[in-house]
Amino acid sequence: MRRLSQEFLQWLFMFRLVALVLTCLALAGCVSGGVVMKHPVTGKTVECGRYAWASSSLLSLTLESRERDCINDFRLQGYQRVTD
């Protein structure tokens, strides 16, 4: 009986390890790319965005609004969007 419980604990450890790795991989894809803005005179760059994607539509709209406001604020300061 002791051997069976040790095998079960090893299986449980491996299961949790695989679950953790899969969760990390899934979450790595849940971040927006963000927008890079650059000032043409100073050359300083800033990034708007890089927010985690939200599961609720209300939170998603809030984050999109935040990114849009960030872009507009830096445009007013003379920054321009950097294209790839």
Domain locations in the chain? 1-30, 31-84
- In this prediction the pTM is 0.52
**pLDDT single digits (tens) 63-75:** 778 888 999 999 9
Residues 52, 73: contact at Cβ < 8 Å?
no
State which amino acid sits at residue 20.
L
Predicted confidence at residue 58, as pLDDT, reads: 57
**pLDDT single digits (tens) 8-60:** 888 888 889 888 877 755 555 555 567 899 999 999 999 887 665 555 555 56
Q: Give Cβ neighbours of residue 70 (< 8 Å, ≥ 6 apart).
A: 35, 48, 49
